[in-house]
Amino acid sequence: MDNYVCESCKKQFSEFDMNFKAAQEDKIILCLKCREFRQHMVATTDCILLIKKKHGSVPTNGEVECPLCQGVVRYSIAAYNGHTAGRCETEDCLCWRE
C-alpha cells in the first residue's frame, strides 16, 4: 500500500482513501479538500477576469454564469476603488470580495 502526501497541506493518505481519486486526476497530488479549494480559487479568478474584461473598473452590477455549477453569479464593481464582489446563487459555491 502506497502512501501519498498532499502537496498543499502535507496530509498523508493512501490509495484506498477516497482522496486518491483526486490525486489521480491532477498532475500534482492534492487531497480532496485542497483540490476543491483550488477549483474554487481558479473559478473565482476566472469570474473576476471575465467581469473586468467586460466592464473594466466602471461601477456596475450584473450577472454571469458560474463556471463551477452553471448557476447565476451576481456581482458588483465598487465606484470607490473598482474592486469586485460576487456570490453564486448556489449555496457553498463562489463568493468573494476584493
Under 8 Å between Cβ of 98 and 48? yes
pLDDT, tens digit, for every residue of 26-44? 567 777 788 888 889 999 9
Task: Give the residue from 91, 81, 87, 93 showing the smallest Cα distance to 37.
Answer: 93
Give the model's pLDDT for residue 93. Answer: 93
> What are the domain boundaries of the chain?
3-97
pLDDT by 10-residue block (mean), the chain, 98 residues: 76 67 61 84 94 93 94 95 95 93
Mean pLDDT rounded to a whole number for the chain: 85
Under 8 Å between Cβ of 31 and 19? yes
